[in-house]
Amino acid sequence: MSLDHRLDPEHEELRRTVEAFAHDVVAPKIGDYYERHEFPYEIVREMGRMGLFGLPFPEEYGGMGGDYLALGIALEELARVDSSVAITLEAGVSLGAMPLHLFGTEEQKREWLPRLCAGELLGAFGLTEPGAGSDAGGTRTTAVRDGDEWVINGSKCFITNSGTDITGLVTVTAVTGRKPDGRPLISSIIVPSGTPGFTVAAPYSKVGWNASDTRELSFDDVRVPVANLLGEEGRGYAQFLRILDEGRVAIAALATGLAQGCVDESVKYAKERHAFGRPIGDNQAIQFKIADMEMRAHMARIGWRDAASRLVRGDTFKKEAAIAKLYSSTVAVDNAREATQIHGGYGFMNEYPVARMWRDSKILEIGEGTSEVQRMLIARELGLQA
């Protein structure tokens, strides 16, 4: 038996297409969006026309009929150039549309998925709260049934894609009751944008991902139809665990792209920058730094593709997803730090992509499960649990 890690022709064609788009369309424009803290609607519309938001969804709902490996490939290539664009795609697919695809009724899928797959609308996933991030079981947002409606009260924070002009819905986790032992019944409910009582705050002032949309949400007696329940009542906690497992594969691909982008920019700079009469890339100290960076990016790629392949085959992938997310986010931070060092003073200037990469890398060790949570998951999968 032999292992072949090469992409099949369709996936390789996708990779080349997104690579060209990232370099020809995203790279020349994204720096200005980033500095203005402005959402890149023009770029997102083009991504929609390319079918990127529909990559892992069936054609019957307007998708491309691809898989999670295809999504990861697209995310990696985009993140080699910019992470704001990549996280907009990742959140739009993994957190916005995927819950509907996995848990929605046929009517919910028909209503929302075609426009989400086309990039005409963006969806968001309202999970995190000021007091319930890693401990999502501490959810305080409530949804009380009143006749044929849910009445939602509470707040969410750090929600990506929640306040753009094309945001169509937010899937919100809320406590809808109590189990016999007193534990909360957490359910997922679709809240369309513009619903009375649903308030979207101004964008956060962030360290990185400055061309992506991240906001705080509040719900004040927000009423939506009972039919907006996503899946079974009380299954919201299990749903979000499934969504986060898959999302970690996507974040690992994105982090790998950032790590590889740091290599790309460092190789380019090491050839162009001269010191003491020769390119700095002639110095073994620089060569070794870049060699280590390439090694880390290569191993991260193997990790996320292994997890994605397991997911696509229908095999268990929770541990592998946690490993891929933990490792790739760590090396993204490491490579961003080294790339900045190689660039010297210019690495501290926003006109150079590595400055964005440095600022964007840290959140990868936090979002969709901190590095500490990933270690907990890995240990648990090994049978180490109190």
Domain boundary among 209, 234, 259: 234
Which residue out of 76, 129, 216, 368 is catalytically annotated?
Answer: 368
Task: Specify whether 115 is located in the same domain as 128.
Answer: no
Would the pLDDT of 272 be above 50?
yes
Average confidence score pLDDT of the chain: 95
Q: Which domain holds residue 149?
A: 123-234
Task: Note the pLDDT tens digit of each residue in 26-72.
Answer: 999 999 999 999 999 999 999 999 999 999 999 999 999 999 999 99
Task: Note the pLDDT tens digit of each residue in 247-261.
Answer: 999 999 999 999 999
**CATH number of the domain encompassing residue 15:** 1.10.540.10
Torsion sign (Cα): 99, 383, 371, 184: positive
Domain boundary among 94, 122, 150: 122
Query: How many CA atoms within 13 Å lie on the side-chain side of 161?
Result: 31
Residues 250, 329 contacting (CB under 8 angstroms) = no
Q: How confident is the model at residue 134 (pLDDT cuts 50, 70, 90)?
A: low
**CATH number of the domain encompassing residue 280:** 1.20.140.10
Instruction: Using alpha carbons, select from 123, 119, 117, 131 the residue that is nearest to residue 172.
Output: 123
Predicted confidence at residue 3, as pLDDT, reads 62
The pairing of strands 214-225 and 198-200 is antiparallel
Would the pLDDT of 184 be above 70?
yes
Q: Which residue has the tokens 């402005």?
A: 38
**CATH number of the domain encompassing residue 139:** 2.40.110.10
Residues 317, 276 contacting (CB under 8 angstroms) = no
Computed on alpha carbons and rounded to an integer, the radius of gyration of the chain in Å comes to: 21
Task: Specify whether 221 is located in the same domain as 141.
Answer: yes
Q: Could you give the number of structural domains in the chain? A: 3
pTM, two decimal places: 0.95
Whether 368 sits among the annotated catalytic residues: the reply is: yes
Tell me, yes or no, whether 366 lies in a domain.
yes
Task: Note the pLDDT tens digit of each residue in 323-378.
Answer: 999 999 999 999 999 999 999 999 999 989 999 999 999 999 999 889 999 999 99
Helices (DSSP H) in the chain: which residue ranges? 9-21, 27-36, 41-50, 68-79, 83-90, 98-103, 106-117, 236-272, 284-313, 318-343, 353-361, 371-381
Task: Specify whether 155 is located in the same domain as 109.
Answer: no
- Percentage, residues of the chain above pLDDT 90: 90
Would the pLDDT of 1 be above 50?
no
